[in-house]
Structure 1
Amino acid sequence: MSAAARSHLLLLACAAIWGFAFVAQRLGADVVGAYTFIAARNYLGAAALLPLVWFLDRREHRDAAARRRAWRTVVTPGIIIGVLLFAGSALQQLGIEQTTAGN
Structure 2
Amino acid sequence: MIRNSGIRAFPPRLPDQPIFYPVLSEEYAVKIARDWNVPASGSDYVTRFQVRRSFLENYSVQKAGGLAHLEYWIPAEEMAAFNAAIVGEIEVVAEFR
**TM interval, short-chain normalised:** under 0.3
Where is the strand percentage greater, Structure 1 or Structure 2? Answer: 2
TM-score, structure 2 length as denominator? 0.26
TM-score, structure 1 length as denominator? 0.25
Asked which structure has the greater CA Rg, the reply is 1
